[in-house]
Chain A
Amino acid sequence: MWRTLAGILLLAATAGHASEGEYLFGAAGCLACHTAEDGPPLAGGHALETPFGVFYAPNITPDRETGIGGWTRAQFIAALKHGTAPDGSAYFPAFPYTSYRHMSDADAGLIFDYLQTVQPQRRANQEHELPWWLARWMIRLWQWWVLDDPEPAPPAVREDPVLNRGRYLVEALGHCGECHTPRNWLGVSIRSRHLAGTRDGPEGDKVPNVTPDRDDGIGKWDAEDLGWFLESGELPDGDYTGGLMTEVVDNATSRLTVADRGAMVAYLRSLEPLPGP
C-alpha cells in the first residue's frame, strides 16, 4: 500500500519534472540544430554554416554509445554551461554555451532529465568541416578569454519580475544573441551591438535588428504584434518569416506560454534602441 503510494508519488514527481524539462528544452531551442533534415529527432547532424566552418550538432539522445546515455548530470551541465565535453576538451561555440551559461544549474539539470527520457537513437556524430587554421585546442584559449563573469542585469530589469523572466528567456534559454548580435573577427559577440542584427548571420543570411529602434529595429511593432510573431511567425505586414527563424518559431517560441512570450517581448522592448546593421 505505502509502496504503491510512494510509487505513484514518484511517478507524478518524475512526470512533473520531465514536462518542466521538456518545456525548458523547447525554450532553449535544442531540437532544430540537433536534428538532421528528415533524420530522427535529436540524433544530430544538422549542418550549421558559419564563417568559421560547417558544424554538425551531435547526437543528444540517451544512446549509450553515440549519444549522451552514459553521461552524468554534472557532465551535462558542464557541457551546456561551460562548453566542456566529458573528456575535458572544449566545444566549438557553434554550441551556444556562451548563452546557456546564464542558465541556472537547476534548469540545465531538468533539461538533462528530459533528454534521458527521449527515444535513444544510434547515430554516430559527424565531424565538423573546419577551415585549415582552426583547431579544437584554440577554443580553450577562446573560452578563457570570452567566458568572463556575466554582466549583471541592469537594476530596472532585475527588480521587475516580468523583465527579469524575459531576460532569462531571451539571453539564456532562447540564445537570441547568437544570431542577432554581430561578432568580431574572433567570433566574439560585440557587446555594444547586442541584438542589433548583422549582415553576416548563419548561412550567410542577414539577421534583423531586434532592439526597439524605430527605423531599423522593432520600435514600431506593438507588444501584441511581437507576441504574435513569436507565436506564429507572421510579420506585421502579413508576410511570414523564413530561414532559420522558422525553426525558432516552430520549435521554441510557439511552444512557450503566452506569459513567457509576453515577458520576452517586454524585455526586448526595454532594451536600448540601436540603429543598423
Chain B
Amino acid sequence: MIRTTIIATLLVAAAPAALAEDPEDFIKYRQAVMKAIGGHTGAASQIVRGKVNPEGALGMHANALAELSKDLTGLFPKGSDFGETKAKEEIWSDWAKFEKAADDARTATAAFAEAVTGGDADKIGTAFKGVGDSCKGCHKEFRQKDD
C-alpha cells in the first residue's frame, strides 16, 4: 500500500515535468544540435582542405561530430513534426529509411574520427567526404528547402 502510494505520488509529480517539455522547445534543441554538427563540419572542412591548421583541433572536431551523430534519430521524436521545423514528414512516414540515413551518418562520422586518429591525410580526406555524403543523403530526402 505504502509502495503504491509512493509510486503514484512519484508519477503524479513526474507528469507535469513530462508535459512541460514543449515540442517547440525540442525543435529548437534539435536545430541547435544540427547547427553544432554543421559548425564542426565547417570547421573540420577548413582544416581538411588545408586552408588552416590549428594545433590538435581536427581531432576535437572529428570526435565531436562522432559524439553528436550517435543518436540522430533521438532528435526526431514523434510529435516534433510541426511548428517551425524544416524536418519533412517523410522522416516519420518512412522511418526505416530515415533510420538508415541516420545510421550512415553515425558510421561515417565514426570512420572520420578514426581516420583522424590514424593521421593519414588521404584517408582523412576520403572519410570527410563520406561525412559530407551522409549529410547530403539525408538532407536530400528529409529536409525542406528554405522558404
Residues of A within 8 A of B (CB): 199, 205-206, 224, 228, 232-234, 236-243, 246-247, 249-250
| Main SS at interface, chain B | helix
Bitwise, B21-33 to A at CB < 8 A (1) or not (0) is 0000000000000
Residue contact B39 to A233, C-beta cutoff 8 Å? no
How many angstroms from the CA of A205 to the CA of B43 in the assembled complex?
28
Residue contact B136 to A246, C-beta cutoff 8 Å? yes
Residue in A205, A234, A242, A249 whose CB lies within 8 Å of B41: A234
Identify the stretch in B7-15, B77-85, B115-123, B138-146 within 8 Å (CB) of chain A at 4 or more residues.
B138-146
How many angstroms from the CA of A246 to the CA of B136 in the assembled complex?
6
How many angstroms from the CA of A228 to the CA of B41 in the assembled complex?
14
Contacts of A224 in B (CB 8 A): 49, 51
Residue contact B129 to A242, C-beta cutoff 8 Å? no
How many angstroms from the CA of A234 to the CA of B140 in the assembled complex?
13
Q: Can you show 26 pairs from A to B with CB atoms below 8 A apart?
A: A199-B147, A205-B145, A224-B49, A224-B51, A232-B129, A232-B132, A233-B135, A233-B136, A234-B132, A236-B42, A238-B41, A238-B42, A238-B43, A239-B42, A240-B132, A240-B135, A240-B139, A241-B136, A242-B139, A242-B144, A242-B145, A243-B140, A246-B136, A246-B139, A247-B140, A249-B136
Residues of B101-147 contacting chain A, CB below 8 A: 129, 132, 135-137, 139-140, 143-147
How many angstroms from the CA of A206 to the CA of B143 in the assembled complex?
13
9 tightest A-B CB contacts, nearest first:
A238-B42, A242-B139, A240-B135, A205-B145, A246-B140, A238-B41, A238-B38, A239-B38, A233-B136
* Smallest beta-carbon distance A234→chain B, Å: 5
Residue contact A238 to B139, C-beta cutoff 8 Å? no
How many angstroms from the CA of A249 to the CA of B38 in the assembled complex?
19
How many angstroms from the CA of A250 to the CA of B139 in the assembled complex?
13
